[in-house]
Structure formats: structure tokens, C-alpha cells
Structure 1
Amino acid sequence: MITCVVHYTIDPAQIEAFERFAREWMRLVARHGGVHHGYFLPAEGASDRAEALFSFESLAAYERYRARFGSDPEFVAADRIRDESGCVVRYERTFMRPLLPDES
């Protein structure tokens, strides 16, 4: 399993647009074989940070999902929310492998 952790710097004035953007990507990840663990939005402290975590069974599965970017109409529409609202100032992706508790 591979987990993608996305660190966002967001525009706090556009939080509603960011939530619309996030809901679309949660749906798209699930629809295309991934498991979305959610978006984590500011509650206290820094108001311009958000995080997202989602997993695919392998890097190859993630790359099949990623190949739809820029061409699949649903992916383009989801990105349009971000682009037109300016809700995302910048983002950084990190790939990690989870270490899960042993099942006893």
C-alpha cells in the first residue's frame, strides 16, 4: 500500500471552495480504486494549512489514477474549483507507506 499525503497552503477566505474541491477529490479517489482518509482542515492555530491522506494498493495503481489528470472531464472539473476560486495557494505531495498496528 502507498499513501499520498498532500500538504496544502490554502486561502482562509476561500475555505468553502476548498471544501467543495476536497469533496470532489474524495469522491474521485474512491471511484478510481483508492481509499481516501479525509481532508484535515484548520480548527485552531494556523488557519492556512490543510492536509489530505489517501491510499492506493500500489504506486502503479496510483499512477493509473493519476493518468486521468488533465483529460478526464470529472478530474478537470474538480481542478477548476481550485483554479477559479484560488482556494489552494500551493501544495506538496509526499508518498509514504503506513506502519499499522499488529492485529492480535
Structure 2
Amino acid sequence: MVTCYLRYVIDPHKLEAFEAYGKLWIRLVEKFGGKHHGYFMPSEGVSNVALAMFSFPSLAAYEDYRKRSFADPECQAAFAMNEKERFIISYERSFFRPVFEDDQGVKRAP
């Protein structure tokens, strides 16, 4: 499993637009076989950073999602939202391997 971590720098005056965008992507990621863990909006402290995390069974599955999303009309509409509203200033994408506890309480090996 691979988890994609996105850190967004957003326009703090356009939080509602970014939140609507995030809600769209939760469903869209899951449409393509991913598990979305949510968007995290600014609360206390910094007012222009938001986070998102979602997982796919493998990096290959993530890459397939990315390829298919560029051809999907719903994804294109979501991309267009930001092109029109410009609520995302920049973002960075990183990938992580999650560690979970199994049923016996033993951590999984890498």
C-alpha cells in the first residue's frame, strides 16, 4: 500500500472553494479504487495550509488513477475549478508506506 500526502498552500480568502474542491476529490479518488483519508483544513495557527491523504494498493495503482483521471470528465471539471478560482497557490506531493497494527497487536515488518 502507498499513501499520497498532499500539502497545499491555499488562498486563505478562498477556503470555501478549496473545501468544495476537496469534497469532490474524496469521491473521485474512491471512484478509481483509492481510499481517501480526508482533507484537513486550517483551524488554529497557519491559515493558508491544507492537507490531504489517500491510499492506493500500490504505486502502480496510483499511477493508473493519475492517468485515468486526466481523461475523466468529472476529474477535468474538478481541475477546472481551481483553474477558474485559483484557490491553490502551490502544493507538494509525497508518498509514504503506512504501518498498521495487525490483529495480534504486532507491527508489520517493512
- With normalisation by structure 2, the TM-score equals 0.90
Q: Contact 1:37–1:54 at 8 Å: present in 2 too?
A: yes
For structure 1, the residue ranges without an aligned partner over 5 or more in a row are: none
Shift of 1:73: 1.0
* CA deviation profile, 1:8-40 (whole Å, cap 9, x unmatched): 000011111101110111010011100000001
RMSD: 1.0
The code of the aligned residue for 2:31 comes to R
Larger radius of gyration: 2
The code of the aligned residue for 2:32 comes to H
Shift of 1:82: 1.3
For structure 2, the residue ranges without an aligned partner over 5 or more in a row are: 105-110
Q: Which runs of 4+ in 1 moved over 4 A?
A: none
* CA deviation profile, 1:23-62 (whole Å, cap 9, x unmatched): 1110100111000000011010000000000000001111
* CA deviation profile, 1:44-98 (whole Å, cap 9, x unmatched): 0000000000000001111110002432211110111111111100000001100
Alignment-derived partner of residue 6 in structure 1:
6
Aligned residue pairs, count: 104
Greater relative contact order, per chain length (Cα 8 Å cut-off, separation 6+): 1
The whole-number CA distance in structure 1 between the counterparts of 2:61 and 2:33 is 8
